[in-house]
Structure 1
């Protein structure tokens, strides 16, 4: 009997903890910055949204170049420097006094978020034994999923109790711990294949082999943008705002309960056994949300979305990395998250327009159908990709 190589090594644990703190601060700021703009800088709701958009724009741009940066400087070096700069950027919020300065810092901060999350994902994939990558990436994704709950909880709990400067100091302290964890991660050097010089073109910043599955990730994240952007507004309109604070808690619990099984199933039986049911459950969660009229229905939809979408993200990321050559895992990760972040950014705007025209209930019903169609598209992509691999 062949002994299975371990997933939970010292380096994997530390890269997961560092990632958890990075995403905790990211989601905390995502929640807190609009409030900070309006209350401390006397800004508007639109300006609060602009501060979020600027961050995502710079993150998306840098993801396109992340693969080349990792090739040039090395994964460990980029990890340490990008976590350091992300930490420094977080601390700099303490000294912000104008909206213009905030926009500049948000753009600067987004650069390091885009880079650090790309390199961390690539390192995690390289640390995990290849035969257990689906299971391992599922565990790694728990760090990001838990941060969805932890970040807003910390921000909203502290906001009425202490000043904004104290909150930013706490965020900075969290990132100092994340930086220490990143320092002790051990990264195996991967030999780079020599290739002829190519002209500078957008396509050379991306991993073309990962683009088909990244396009599925784009569509899924587009639909998921309706959750992170509008769930509190929808719940408020239904008179369920207090229940909404538990939506992502239920989401996280449901996701954690199935994660050990779905990862192993992915490795043992193949991605379709995990992805197709998860897409159906995600669509069912959106359908339930569209008919929500009570607290239990809102929480049920949160559980279903946690089971469905919470499983899809690590599955798609794993497929994107496996589609590329080993030495191009950084390009694959950057490509996947560039598509994913773009889906969130476009979805937040486009679905806002749709919500104004249709109402939130019909929006979620439409998205449930849309997600089922994404399942058909994914199957077409997987069959086409398998056919190309055989030929």
Structure 2
């Protein structure tokens, strides 16, 4: 029965996943080192150190809807290769940066390449994954960025601390160019030529053309949870030191990734077999449990247990939401749906970092993490109202048809 399934691990799927891995590897590599670089090498302020991430994400958010339209008009492969050229080329420019202003401009242009590339890879993978294995395929694809989230910060900080800034930047350049090389191996099946009517419609840049309306509900839901996830990305290493387990802080995302690796073969298949709701609701509960354990953790063991639950929860939710975003859109609108989802999701990440930073000045991180579990459970209602109810009704109708 398994042999009759359409093939998932094709050359294209492997190539786009490898390209995505090194794209995100470079992203996380610089995410953790640039603030340190600003403070230590450019003698900047802490506010300027925070801006290097904000500027990068801002340009990525701005370009994504436009990139989605470009993909519709000239193809995902062309946009991917162009964006990877921009992304890898700008990585080289960091060597010549000698001021805060020059760094901000570099980060803004770099974010444009990243935003275009992530939109293109998401669109390509949506096009090449067999429909019957969409949940499984998207899960494995997103796992490539999850693994980069572990490797990137670890290698970036290690390189900067052990061998200096130049070696760190060189490793970033190598990672970016490997992503470009992997992108060259991707080929997308040609589609039927567009009709004149379609070409005329695609020439406009109205809100409806730049954003996929059907993907907005699940994108808003994703952004709701991204606010909590951003608190992990930004503050979990600081929190580890606060509770006396700083020696295992770097292992948080290692455990997170290992749990994902173990669970991914099952969660993706269950999504395809039983539908989105059967995966989303348990994942929300697991995410909430993880954040509660993190908030009350007073030992390395509990700290890492929290990582495992967060990995099972959010690590399963994110690819499920991205799968929903492309599933609810018309096939021709999937590039725009991908851009819509990622843009709104990144707004959640950026907003979350800002909100958590303000809240952390008022209450302890432990309290913040603990109450985040309540916030996540509210997300059950948000998901049900915006998306889950519709899926439940559709599944009920399908069941009635089968019974009749």
If the length of structure 1 is used for normalisation, what is the TM-score? Answer: 0.96
Q: Deviations over 1:350-385 (max 9, x none)?
A: 111112222212211221111111112112223553
State the distance in 2 between where 1:131 and 1:342 align: 31
Match of 2:344 in 1: 339
Q: 1:295: which partner in 2?
A: 300
2:400 counterpart residue number = none
What is the aligned partner in structure 1 of residue 206 from structure 2?
A: 201
Quote the residue 1:75 is aligned against.
76
Q: Does 1:6 align with 2:7?
A: yes
* Alignment check: 8 A CA contact 2:256 2:307 kept: yes
| Cα separation, 1, equivalents of 2:164 and 2:158 | 12
* Aligned match of 2:402: none
State which of 249, 272, 290 in structure 2 corresponds to 1:244.
Answer: 249
Distance in 1 (CA, whole Å) between partners of 2:80 and 2:388 is 35
2:277 to 262, 268, 272: 272
Alignment length (residue pairs): 390
**Range moving further from structure 2, 113-122 or 188-197:** 188-197
Structure-2 residue corresponding to 1:182: 183
Report the Cα distance in structure 2 between the residues aligned to 1:327 and 1:352, rounded to whole angstroms: 40
Partner of 2:144: 143
Unpaired segments ≥5 residues, structure 1 = none
8 Å contact from structure 2 (residues 224, 379) kept in 1: yes
**Structure 2: distance between partners of 1:260 and 1:80:** 30
The answer on whether the counterparts of 2:255 and 2:308 sit within 8 Å (CA) in structure 1 is yes
Q: How far apart are the structure 1 equivalents of 2:153 and 2:100?
A: 22
Q: Is the 8 A contact 2:221 2:379 kept in 1?
A: yes
SS in 1 for 2:321: helix
Stretch deviating more after TM superposition (189-198 or 268-277): 189-198
2:115 maps to which residue? Answer: 114
Q: 2:235 aligns with which of 225, 230, 237?
A: 230
Post-superposition Cα deviations, 1:33-90, rounded to whole Å, max 9, x if no partner, equal: 0111111111122211111100000000011212211122211111111111111011
Distance 1:12 1:200, change over 3 A: closer
User: Secondary structure of the residue that 2:162 maps to in structure 1?
Assistant: coil
Q: What's the offset of the Cα at 1:27?
A: 0.4
TM superposition shift of 1:277: 0.5
CA contact (8 A) 2:277 2:388 kept: no
Note the C-alpha offset of 1:299. Answer: 0.5
Deviation at 1:95, TM superposition (A): 1.2
Separation (CA, whole Å) in 1 of partners of 2:246 and 2:191: 49
1:167 positional shift: 1.4
Determine the C-alpha separation between the residues in 1 that align with 2:229 and 2:294.
13
Go from structure 1 to structure 2 and tell me whether the alpha carbon gap of 1:222 and 1:243 turns closer, same or farther (over 3 Å shift): same
Structure 1 residue 168, shift from structure 2 partner: 1.0
Q: Say which of 358, 361, 367 aligns to 1:362.
A: 367
Distance 2:206 2:141 in 1: 32
Q: Is the 8 A contact 2:22 2:179 kept in 1?
A: yes
Post-superposition Cα deviations, 1:168-190, rounded to whole Å, max 9, x if no partner, equal 11111122111111011011233
Q: Residues 33 and 383 (structure 1 numbering): CA distance in 2 closer, same or farther, change over 3 Å?
A: closer
Aligned partner of 2:401 in structure 1 is none
Structure 1 counterpart SS, 2:282: helix
Query: Which residue of 1 is the match for residue 330 of structure 2?
Result: 325
**Residue pair 2:149, 2:253 contacting (<8 A) in 1 also:** yes
Aligned-partner Cα distance in 2 for 1:366–1:164: 39
Secondary structure of 1:42's match?
coil
Task: Tell me if the contact between 2:259 and 2:308 (Cα under 8 Å) persists in the aligned partners.
Answer: yes
Deviation at 1:201, TM superposition (A): 3.2
Unpaired runs of 5+ residues, structure 2, are 398-404
Indicate how the Cα distance of structure 1 residues 175 and 199 shifts in structure 2: closer, same or farther if over 3 A, else same: closer
